[in-house]
């Protein structure tokens, strides 16, 4: 009987879902914060796991009891779903047993052992969805963007695994191996009416519009000199060479996100082998090796960016450019129109008739284990072994157009009636392709190849784990060391471990041009020793069926830290009768920063990819209630922040509301790093009750309370952490994250390693994190008699009462349980559960399983009534302020035709329920598809067919 709650997902449960990735299996558990890295855009393709929404780094992932890899490099892509025997999820601190990192708990993937014969597992599924009218499709159509309608069938996903194994030498040698292939077709935002465009509200309860990033297919031109300086113009979409005022939608802008993926294209290959060689009970050799290669991509439109993305020098166009009409030339050049004079301009243009600009992620790795284990006499067992794991990620980004080439392509003259680059004429750039930036629909593959030649950059990250362990267990009852009131003896375990991790990140010149930074090579190692004791005190006595105490202690010494870490656990089990068990566990865990956390804290790099949309002290157009006409709105350019808030960021009063503060493309510069990272300490308390009443055969019920507090919590605080906190409180703790340039701006060139002009972000410590709640489990088997089989019920629920923490000593506790927005980004409902009901015929020839997935309501933090998360009366919304409870249902039918052939038919989200929709989803969920893809089915009904054939 475990003293801490353990949730197990069996092989049968897994097959009834028809998953292609292990994250799909775990995302249904209420204790797991779902994270669909293999689905939505803006992902790096890796699959990682986080329990209790406490972060990937605090969840330890094992395969058959040994680490999958480093915390930073782990990728559960390496695990083929078809080889899983079960998944055990231990929630609560477990660092004293498993080492640092097991703060939130442990996920242990158990693979099927000792396979013999040949087996083929095949799985194919796709999505079928009826695209109906909704607020998104209506908004998109009104903006001139097409929205999908009617029935669709897309997103095919195939998974094929061949496994073979045999026994030799009178069953003393067992060998098995497998090869697995997976392929996933893409589904774009444009393929779902719920994602036809990203809907936004620019003010509280304001009108809904499509989100734009200012890259019209017609091309946007902003003169930098002359009478029209600073006025944003657009080439007339009707094809005439005339400028018209820029205005979002209706042909003057494009739907930037229409090529984004709701399901990312992906291709994966896995292969591996296992062996055991038993010489005697005292010595058995074992080993395994698994290799994988996974390639996926994020799809983006191909755009030409503002000159601000390169620095402070505008683009230049010659005033006698043959692509300019006379009116356009006059607007840009004034009296110099028609001459060879150069006019400064800015532009943003979405190229037409060209391929998308993709970020490609190649994740690959290998993991090997080996060792010797056995029994030493009747009382002792040992296991001496280790793990080597290597994970590599190659990130290749399409990059941005070459600034010099783009300027060359804008400097064009007529040569015998043919537009020709001046650079081609004078020989400085013979390959130059003229760019017609002054008409709608411009673009070609040749132009794209010229402008982006050599722009693609690649970063390679390699993580390695070297882990050696010796574990010894002993049953001291064999020596008579038994409590006088117990039947079982004292059990002990001892272990020692050496673990070394390395991380190397390198990049080529084009990548560094875009993102800056430098190559890094990091390493650290730790020595650990641990001891455990299991002491049955009283057994099978009146009023005490079982009374047991467990303890554990681990000491860790990292080479990068002068201090030793100590972790421990105290556990107790009490059963007055066999039907009732009380259990409790108290753990202390201390976690050192991972290699990457330490580096992220100290290393400095820059980008324009933060969550802030613009400087909140700049004049951003938005809708506010009209004070003179109740129910009406007016457009205002008053900054989002008050003058006092802006003053707290270091802004001079005379610059408040100045248009010079506007960031290019509404994205301010973000500086990552420049912090210290110290160890964190966590305390975890769990206690609960288990019921197995003898008078109801087959019934199991449990409820457990958990309380987690992490002091000096290590975390990545994005720029939105400082942005939202400063906007909400004007507190120097948050507002110090704004480092303004001398002119007050936050848009320094990312490539210039600036010392000001940015918002801070990075890994650091803050006050503490808290997670509290209850877990509920239940199983029941209802026997229907020998002729009719039985029905199994399996319930797993979680009630979250607190999820958040305290950002600083002077700030209030932030409880995000049941809320979203204002920094409550984990999207944790207070209540979530799954209930699977399975009917099995006698002999297991047929089964039908119906699963109910329930997610409780989520409320916008503005409407929480809690000022700590922004729930003040003036912020309360009347639109998009609540997502009601959501239920999704799945059906699985399994036919065991004979002992060698099984056929399964599966429908997930069987009723094709649409996901709940929300405005400004990117600010909350890291997706532009108007919902939370981590938690809700965004693609429709998933229909699958799978089979297992044994030869």
Kindly tell me if the per-residue pLDDT of 246 is higher than 90.
no
Check residue 925 and give its pLDDT: 72
Q: What is the pLDDT of residues 613-635, one digit of tens each?
A: 689 999 876 656 666 666 565 66
Check residue 94 and give its pLDDT: 80
More confident residue, 605 or 180: 180
Kindly tell me if the per-residue pLDDT of 1 is higher than 70.
no
Average pLDDT over residues 306-322: 92
State how far the Cα of 454 lies from the Cα of 509, in Å rounded to an integer.
10
Average pLDDT over residues 837-856: 94
Give the chain's radius of gyration (CA, Å).
31
State how far the Cα of 503 lies from the Cα of 524, in Å rounded to an integer.
9
**Confidence category of residue 203, pLDDT binned at 50, 70, 90:** confident
13: nearest Cα among 34, 37, 30, 29: 29
Check residue 395 and give its pLDDT: 95
Which residues touch 218 (CB under 8 Å, ≥6 apart)?
Answer: 234, 235, 236, 237, 251, 252, 440, 441
Check residue 934 and give its pLDDT: 79
Contact 357, 302 (CB under 8 A): yes
Neighbours of 142 (CB within 10 A): 14
Q: What is the pLDDT of residues 703-750, one digit of tens each?
A: 999 999 999 888 888 888 888 889 888 988 889 999 999 999 998 887
State how far the Cα of 341 lies from the Cα of 316, in Å rounded to an integer.
10
Check residue 677 and give its pLDDT: 80
State how far the Cα of 235 lies from the Cα of 237, in Å rounded to an integer.
6
Q: List b or e across 538-566, with b for residues whose CB sees 16 or more CB atoms inside 10 angstroms.
A: bbeeeebbbbbebebbbebebeeeeeebe
More confident residue, 75 or 515: 75
**Confidence category of residue 249, pLDDT binned at 50, 70, 90:** low
* Chain mean pLDDT for the chain: 90
- Whole-structure pTM value: 0.87
Check residue 152 and give its pLDDT: 95
**Confidence category of residue 322, pLDDT binned at 50, 70, 90:** very high
State how far the Cα of 316 lies from the Cα of 318, in Å rounded to an integer.
7
Contact 157, 125 (CB under 8 A): yes
Neighbours of 376 (CB within 10 A): 12
Task: Report percent pLDDT > 90 for the chain.
Answer: 64
Strand, coil or helix: what is 141? helix
Q: What is the pLDDT of residues 647-680, one digit of tens each?
A: 999 999 999 998 889 887 778 889 888 887 888 8
Q: What is the pLDDT of residues 261-277, one digit of tens each?
A: 999 899 999 999 999 99
Q: Which two tokens stand for residue 260?
A: 């984004």
Kindly tell me if the per-residue pLDDT of 918 is higher than 80.
yes
Query: What are the DSSP calls for 359-422, one per residue?
Result: EEEEEEEEEEEEEEEEEETTTEEEEEEEEEEEEEEEEEE-----HHHHHHHH-EEEETTEEEEH
Kindly tell me if the per-residue pLDDT of 38 is higher than 70.
no
Kindly tell me if the per-residue pLDDT of 251 is higher than 90.
no
Kindly tell me if the per-residue pLDDT of 527 is higher than 80.
yes
Kindly tell me if the per-residue pLDDT of 609 is higher than 60.
no
Contact 186, 265 (CB under 8 A): yes
CA angle, 304 then 305 then 311, to 5°: 135
Check residue 15 and give its pLDDT: 84
Check residue 624 and give its pLDDT: 61
């Amino acid at each position: 009987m475990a003293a801490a709650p353990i949730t197990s997902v069996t092989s049968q449960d897994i097959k009834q879902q028809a998953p292609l990735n292990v994250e799909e299996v775990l995302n249904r558990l209420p204790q797991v914060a779902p994270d669909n890295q293999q689905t939505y855009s803006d992902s790096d393709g890796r699959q990682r796991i986080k329990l209790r929404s406490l972060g990937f780094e605090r969840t330890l992932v094992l395969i058959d009891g040994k680490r999958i890899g480093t915390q930073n490099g782990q990728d559960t892509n390496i695990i083929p779903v078809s080889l899983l025997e079960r998944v055990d999820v231990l929630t609560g601190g477990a660092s004293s047993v498993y080492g640092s990192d097991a703060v939130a708990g442990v996920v242990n993937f158990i693979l099927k052992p000792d396979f013999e014969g040949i087996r083929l597992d095949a799985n194919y599924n796709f999505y079928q969805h009826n695209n109906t009218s909704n607020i998104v499709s209506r908004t998109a159509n009104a903006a001139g963007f097409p929205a999908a309608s009617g029935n669709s069938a897309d997103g095919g996903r195939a998974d094929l695994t061949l496994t073979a194994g045999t026994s030799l030498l009178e069953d003393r040698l067992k060998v098995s191996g497998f090869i697995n292939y997976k392929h996933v077709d893409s589904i774009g935002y444009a393929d779902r009416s719920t994602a036809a465009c990203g809907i936004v509200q620019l003010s509280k309860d304001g009108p809904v519009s499509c989100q734009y990033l200012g890259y019209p297919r017609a091309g946007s031109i902003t003169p930098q000199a002359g009478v029209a300086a600073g006025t944003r113009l657009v080439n007339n979409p009707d094809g005439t060479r005339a400028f018209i005022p820029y205005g979002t939608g209706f042909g003057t802008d494009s739907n930037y996100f229409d090529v984004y993926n709701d399901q990312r294209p992906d291709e994966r290959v896995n292969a591996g082998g296992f062996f055991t060689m038993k010489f005697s009970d005292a010595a058995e050799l074992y080993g395994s090796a698994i290799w994988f290669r996974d390639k996926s991509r994020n799809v983006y439109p191909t755009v030409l960016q503002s000159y601000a993305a390169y620095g402070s020098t505008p683009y230049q166009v010659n005033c006698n450019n043959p692509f300019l009409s006379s009116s356009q030339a006059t607007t840009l050049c004034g009296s110099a129109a028609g001459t060879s004079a150069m006019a400064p301009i800015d532009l943003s243009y979405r190229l037409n008739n060209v391929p998308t600009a993709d970020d490609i992620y190649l994740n690959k790795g290998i993991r090997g284990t080996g060792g010797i284990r056995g029994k030493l006499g009747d009382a002792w067992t040992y296991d001496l072994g280790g793990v080597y794991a290597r994970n590599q990620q190659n990130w290749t980004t399409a990059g941005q157009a070459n600034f010099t080439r783009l300027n060359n392509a804008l400097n064009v003259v007529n040569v015998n009636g043919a537009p020709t680059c001046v650079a081609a004429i004078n020989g400085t750039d013979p390959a130059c392709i003229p760019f017609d930036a002054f008409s709608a629909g411009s673009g070609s593959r040749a132009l794209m190849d010229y402008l982006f030649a050599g722009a693609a950059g690649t970063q390679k990250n390699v993580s390695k784990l070297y882990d050696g362990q010796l574990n010894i267990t002993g049953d001291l009852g064999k020596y008579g060391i038994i409590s006088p009131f117990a039947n079982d003896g004292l059990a002990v375990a001892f272990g020692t471990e050496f673990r070394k991790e390395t991380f190397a990140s390198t990049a080529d010149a084009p990548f560094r041009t875009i993102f800056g930074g430098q190559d890094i090579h990091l390493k650290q190692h730790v020595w650990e020793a641990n001891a455990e004791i299991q002491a049955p005190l009283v057994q099978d006595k009146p009023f005490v069926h079982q009374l047991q105490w467990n303890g554990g202690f681990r000491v860790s010494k990292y080479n990068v830290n002068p201090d030793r870490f100590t972790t421990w656990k105290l556990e107790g089990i009490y059963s007055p009768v066999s039907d009732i068990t009380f259990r409790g566990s108290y753990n202390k865990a201390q976690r050192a920063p991972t290699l990457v956390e330490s580096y992220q804290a100290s290393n400095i790099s820059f980008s324009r990819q933060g969550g802030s949309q613009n400087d909140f002290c700049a004049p951003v157009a938005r809708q506010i209630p009209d004070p003179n006409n109740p129910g009406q709105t007016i457009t205002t350019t008053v900054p989002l922040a008050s003058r006092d808030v802006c003053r707290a960021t270091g802004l001079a009063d005379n610059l408040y509301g100045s248009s010079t503060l506007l960031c290019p493309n509404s994205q301010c510069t973000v500086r990552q790093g420049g912090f210290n990272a110290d160890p964190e300490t966590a305390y975890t308390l769990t206690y609960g009750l288990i019921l197995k009443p003898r008078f109801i055969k087959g019934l199991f019920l449990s409820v457990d309370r958990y309380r987690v507090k992490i002091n000096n919590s290590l975390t990545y605080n994005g720029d939105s952490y400082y942005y939202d906190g400063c906007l909400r409180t004007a507190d120097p703790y948050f507002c110090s994250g704004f480092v303004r340039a001398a002119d007050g701006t936050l848009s320094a060139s990312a490539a210039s390693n600036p010392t000001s002009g940015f918002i801070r972000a990075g890994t650091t410590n803050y006050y503490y994190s808290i997670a509290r709640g209850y877990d509920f489990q239940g199983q029941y088997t209802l026997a229907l008699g020998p002729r009719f089989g039985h029905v199994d019920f399996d319930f797993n629920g979680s009630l979250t009462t607190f999820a958040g923490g305290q950002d600083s000593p002077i700030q209030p506790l932030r409880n995000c349980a049941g809320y979203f927005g204002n920094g409550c980004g984990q999207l944790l409902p207070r209540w979530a559960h799954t209930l699977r009901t399975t009917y099995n015929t006698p002999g297991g020839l047929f089964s039908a399983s119906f699963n109910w997935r329930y997610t409780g309501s989520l409320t916008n933090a503005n409407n929480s009534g809690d000022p700590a998360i922004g729930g003040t009366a003036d912020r309360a919304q009347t639109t998009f302020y609540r997502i009601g409870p959501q239920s999704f249902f799945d059906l699985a039918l399994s036919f065991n035709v004979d002992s060698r052939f099984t056929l399964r038919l599966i429908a997930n989200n069987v009723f094709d329920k649409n996901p709940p929709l929300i405005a400004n989803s990117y600010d909350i969920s890291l997706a532009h598809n108007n919902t939370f893809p981590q938690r809700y089915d965004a693609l429709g009904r998933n229909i699958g067919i799978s089979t297992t054939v044994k030869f």
